[in-house]
């Protein structure tokens, strides 16, 4: 084999290794997870049935998966991505890793939050995932220098049930032992919400009681479809009005069609699923978070 051929082979192997390399992970609770814990008897599993939507189940080791921003576009911003799944599973591909790749192209480092699940049998399904979100924000800030990010540009993107979790986490104080041990703030600097799940109390015609909007709520972008029967548009509309009433910078897009659970993927005969990401990019750039 000639020297030139050896270099070509080496380059090919190096490229293959780079492509196949798994993104780094950050454990949220290396010293033990607070209650309410999830069962650990069943192994974590990933299933991708005929509908092509990946479902991750039995997450007993909550963690962040890091998708670094493209170096040429890096803005210093970071976003924790909280996938949906109704608290029974995590739809962590089209509402998770695909979103992180999209963010990296905008110069934003994405941190996919694989929070504990299932929690849909707990007294309050969101309690454990909210703890995981609080800790995730703290950890990203604590490790800002390592990941080349600005500790004052840490946001959260929540889909569906992840949107509910994101809102509760952003508008409440941590309620677990040792919440201040990392000496960093749990509060995000900005929020992006895609069809947040069950934030509307239909009986009271109001936002659910555990969402507390005030003047300190982070600037928020909301995407919603009118025909979404799982996450009613009344919730996103009321949230937007509450943000305005508290003088919080906010932007709301409600599309006629799109339904629920589209994540980063298109849907036939619906503009919302393909358009909302572009509008979010505009908003992020407007706030100095996305690459120009």
Distance CA 261, CA 264 (A): 9
Work out the pLDDT band at 40, boundaries 50, 70, 90.
confident
- pLDDT at residue 185, rounded to an integer: 96
Is the pLDDT assigned to residue 7 strictly greater than 90? Answer: no
Q: Write down the mean pLDDT value for the chain.
A: 93
Domain boundaries, the chain: 25-286
- pLDDT at residue 4, rounded to an integer: 53
Q: What is 25-286's CATH topology?
A: Rossmann fold (3.40.50)
Determine whether 36 is exposed, middle or buried from the number of CB atoms within 10 Å of its CB (0-12, 13-18, 19+). middle
**Can you state the angle between helices 161-170 and 127-142, rounded to 10 degrees?**
60
Work out the pLDDT band at 84, boundaries 50, 70, 90.
very high
263 and 98 Cβ atoms separated by less than 8 Å = yes
- pLDDT at residue 263, rounded to an integer: 93
Distance CA 275, CA 282 (A): 11
Give residue-wise pLDDT tens across range 139-183: 999 999 999 999 999 999 999 999 999 999 999 999 999 899 999
Is the pLDDT assigned to residue 19 strictly greater than 70? Answer: no
Cis peptide before 118 (omega within 30 of 0): yes
Give residue-wise pLDDT tens across range 102-123: 999 999 999 999 999 999 999 9
Q: Which residues lie below 8 Å from residue 31, measured CB to CB, with a gap of 6+? A: none
Strand, helix or coil for residue 207: strand
Continuous segment of H or E residues that includes residue 237:
helix 233-245
The number of residues making up the chain comes to: 292
Distance CA 79, CA 101 (A): 11
Cis peptide before 174 (omega within 30 of 0): no
Give residue-wise pLDDT tens across range 61-74: 999 999 999 999 99
Give residue-wise pLDDT tens across range 195-245: 999 999 999 999 999 999 999 999 999 999 999 999 999 999 999 999 999
DSSP secondary structure, 183-199, as one string: -S----SEEEEES-TT-
């Amino acid at each position: 084999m000639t020297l030139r051929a050896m270099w070509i082979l080496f380059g090919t192997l190096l490229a293959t290794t780079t492509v196949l390399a798994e993104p780094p992970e950050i454990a949220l609770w290396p010293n033990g997870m607070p209650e309410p814990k999830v069962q650990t008897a069943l192994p974590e599993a990933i299933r991708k049935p005929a509908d092509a939507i990946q479902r991750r189940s039995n997450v007993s080791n909550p963690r962040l998966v890091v998708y670094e921003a493209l170096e040429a576009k890096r803005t210093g911003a970071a976003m924790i991505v909280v996938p949906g799944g109704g608290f029974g599973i995590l739809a962590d591909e089209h509402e998770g890793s695909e979103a992180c790749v999209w963010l990296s192209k905008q110069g934003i480092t994405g941190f996919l939050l694989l929070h504990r699940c299932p929690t849909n049998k707990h007294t309050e399904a969101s309690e454990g995932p909210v703890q995981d979100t609080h800790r995730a924000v703290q950890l990203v800030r604590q490790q800002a220098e390592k990941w080349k990010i600005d500790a004052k540009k840490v946001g959260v993107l929540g889909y569906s049930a992840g949107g509910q979790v994101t809102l509760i986490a952003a508008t409440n104080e941590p309620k677990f032992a040792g919440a201040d041990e990392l000496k960093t703030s749990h509060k995000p600097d900005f929020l992006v919400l895609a069809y947040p799940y069950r934030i509307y109390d239909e009986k009271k015609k109001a936002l659910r009681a555990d969402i507390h909007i005030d003047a300190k709520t982070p600037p928020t972008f909301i995407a919603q479809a009118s025909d979404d029967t799982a996450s009613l548009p009344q919730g996103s509309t009321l949230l937007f009005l509450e943000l305005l009433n508290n003088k919080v910078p906010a932007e709301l897009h409600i599309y006629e069609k799109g339904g629920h659970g589209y994540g980063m993927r298109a849907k036939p005969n619906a503009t919302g699923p393909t358009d909302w990401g572009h509008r979010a990019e505009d908003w992020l750039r407007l706030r100095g978070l996305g690459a120009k």
